[in-house]
Amino acid sequence: MLRSNIIGTGSYLPAHTLSNHELSKLVDTNNDWIVERTGICSRHIATEETETTVFMGTKAAQNALEMAGLTADKLDLILVATFTPDYIMPNTACQIQAAIHATNAFCFDINAACSGFLYALQTADAYIRSGIYHSILVVGTETISRTIDWQDRSTCILFGDGAGAAILSASHTEKGFLGFLSGSDGSGGMALQLKNRPIKNPCRPTTKGQPDSFPYLSMNGQEVFQFAVRKIPEMVKSITDQNQLSPEDISHYLLHQANLRIIKSVAKRLSLPEERFPVNLSECGNTSAASIPILLDKCYRNGIIQLGSYILLSGFGGGLTWGSALLKL
């Protein structure tokens, strides 16, 4: 059976970090308050002009290509998951294509917020299973710091910048992705939102009091929390059942790194030890679509996940959206 399999991963994090202590100088908060509620101690912030969404995605892609032993001209497709592109057009994938000289790839972006990387993986897997493409680069890259109101402690404590990438290749072995689950619920979309830049159109009257500045990301944290701790266990049970496995058969769960309380709650609901849930939340914060691939790269490079084991990737985000992927190494 033709499957897609990961043959290389890569990531990039900005050098500059913002600790909770430093953040407390910007907004009314403190280290203990943040750690208790989120598990986050610091986050990476893109401070250099060159550290754009494209730049970070390019670095992660190059690292993934190096691990895979693949040259960029062998790529058939580039998919980029992001909600913080540098440009509305051209898309981020095309800009990364140009940067890495992937002259034979076609490219497009996917915006599903924190679920974006999983949506992109499922899309890549479908192209490979269909036989249309053989080698696909999937990137999650975000500069969320550009969208944050640094006086809003309900959001500014949570997010960081970064990028992660994976190379998927066609495989005729038992290894690779065994299945995916994904879904959306637009009725809950306003729980996590970022409005577009206000329109200035001479043919359209300006709404009285319309802001001229770029709007900020906003979130109903309690609603998102309740959604996540309900939806992730549901997905885990569904995708393991579909593959004649149980949650206990999964070696490691790589969850979207949004909040440590969510991860602990999911582990408890599944009656699994927290050791099966690797985290990098403490030093990275929530990097949205980059969250899972950054963690995946860390797990590959540090030997946390082993050949022959099952791992499950699972995330949730704005939309509302959710997705899971079951992988046999």
pTM check: above 0.75? yes
The residues spanned by each domain of the chain are 3-173, 178-195+213-328
Q: How confident is the model at residue 117 (pLDDT cuts 50, 70, 90)?
A: very high
Predicted confidence at residue 163, as pLDDT, reads: 98
Going by C-alpha positions, the residue among 17, 13, 20 that lies closest to residue 63 is 13
Is 256 one of the annotated active-site residues of the chain? yes
Predicted confidence at residue 205, as pLDDT, reads: 61
Contact (CB, 8 A) for 2 and 133: no
The CATH T-level fold of domain 178-195+213-328 is: Peroxisomal Thiolase; Chain A, domain 1 (3.40.47)
* CATH superfamily of this structure's domain 3-173: Thiolase/Chalcone synthase (3.40.47.10)
Tell me which H or E stretch contains 282: helix 281-284
Q: Which of 20, 94, 111, 114 is catalytic?
A: 114
Is 203 one of the annotated active-site residues of the chain? no
237-269 tens-digit pLDDT: 999 999 999 999 999 999 999 999 999 999 999
Q: Which of 20, 256, 259, 284 is catalytic?
A: 256
Domains 3-173 and 178-195+213-328 share a fold: yes
Percent of the chain residues topping a pLDDT of 90 = 79
Going by C-alpha positions, the residue among 99, 96, 100 that lies closest to residue 109 is 96
- The CA distance from 120 to 193, in Å, is 20
H helices, E strands: number in the chain: 10, 13
Angle at alpha carbon of residue 246, lines to 242 and 252, rounded to 5°: 105
Q: Which of 111, 259, 280, 286 is catalytic?
A: 286
Is 114 one of the annotated active-site residues of the chain? yes
